Amino acid sequence: MSDFIQSIKKQLEEQRTEIKKRLEEVAKKSGKEGSGYETKFPEYGRAEDENADEVAAFVDSLSVEDNLEKTLEDIELAMKKISQGRYGICEKCGKPIPMERLQAFPTAKFCLDCKGKFS
């Protein structure tokens, strides 16, 4: 495996660890098959203003959890592609994704040309 791919793999592993740690702060692993995480509902107390704060915090956590889970899925896909020897290949046109793009965005699925066409 090339040094470039090794460094990307290490970077992705570090990101995966950090994302999982952040996910554990706002969500718990779902017990349902095929489901990732469920956002935790905070418990601040029983007063009416505390209930409103709980709902507001839960709504914020929902979007955070969703974004973290999507990022984790992208990292897992990139790691799978590395192990299969398909990393750095555009999913639309099949051409190599430039190293500069992969360095900046290691989970890139598309080259810039295709990203522009299909966004």
Residue ranges per structural domain of the chain: 3-87, 88-119
Q: What is the pTM of this model?
A: 0.76
Residue 92 contacts residue 118 (beta carbons within 8 Å) = yes
> Each residue's pLDDT tens digit in the chain (119 positions)?
589 999 999 999 999 999 999 888 887 776 555 457 767 666 655 655 556 666 666 666 677 888 999 999 999 999 999 999 999 999 999 999 999 999 999 999 999 999 887 65
Q: Report how far apart the first and last C-alpha atoms of the chain are (Å, whole number).
A: 31
Look up residue 42 and give its DSSP letter: P
